[in-house]
Amino acid sequence: MYFVRTPYILKMLFQKVVWEFPPSQQTIYLTFDDGPHQVITPWILSQLKRHDAKATFFCLGENAKKYPNLILEMEREGHAIASHGDAHLNGWKISKPEYEQNILQGKQTLSAILQKDIPLFRPPYGRFKHKVMPTQRIILWSLMPGDFDSSITAEKCLSRLKSVKAGDIIVLHENEKSWKNLQYCLPKFLEFCNANNFQLSAIKSI
């Protein structure tokens, strides 16, 4: 189960987490989890470039080690790189030391590739141990269209994306599970954003 729109009560319970930004301008924040991926990431980058859009990539350390050149390409093209931990571990099902080590290793891997600090973090599954707050700022989301959800059509995923509002943080994924829906939705959503004067910006820092 997942919420397409993050409920207000969750935002109130976890106010130190960034769920969205003020809707003062026609700006939205497209984010991608789980990469980099040797096929999907270059395709995403080409789509973003075609539409002059910027995004934030929450990368796994274990994947960054495999494809450091893709991390550097994201950086060159003006996107933001943030951490998704080292491995895609469920924070509710692992020990506190293992959770802390996963956060630290993911950050260190990306920092070593980019030679700079990585200030932003998104826990896998959006699940974190409340008593273990990383030094990085936690970024979650306000809109999850469910590109990973095999029970919905690509058209349904796009319809959810089109419910976007100014200030929204949208979460999509760079993985095999989401690839079919993403291939359909992303180009059409970027066209929709251009037609409706939405600016897609990277989350550089908070």
Stretch 29-40: mean pLDDT: 98
Where b means 16+ CB within 10 Å and e means fewer, 151-181 reads: ebeeeebbebbeebeebbbbbbbbbeebbeb
**9 is a domain residue:** no
Q: How confident is the model at residue 191 (pLDDT cuts 50, 70, 90)?
A: very high
Q: How confident is the model at residue 16 (pLDDT cuts 50, 70, 90)?
A: confident
pLDDT greater than 70 at residue 131 = no
Tens digit of each residue's pLDDT (9 = 90 or more) over 55-113: 999 999 999 999 999 999 999 999 999 999 999 887 777 888 888 899 999 999 999 99
What is the model's pLDDT at position 62? Answer: 97
What amino acid is encoded at 205 in this protein?
S
Report the C-alpha gap between 203 and 206 in whole angstroms. 8
- Please tell me the pTM assigned to this model: 0.95
**18 is a domain residue:** no
**22 is a domain residue:** no
Q: How many domains does the chain have?
A: 1
**20 is a domain residue:** no
**8 is a domain residue:** no
**88 is a domain residue:** yes
pLDDT greater than 70 at residue 17 = yes
List the domain range (segments joined by +) for residue 142: 31-200
Q: What is the CATH number of the domain that holds 71?
A: 3.20.20.370
**126 is a domain residue:** yes
**99 is a domain residue:** yes
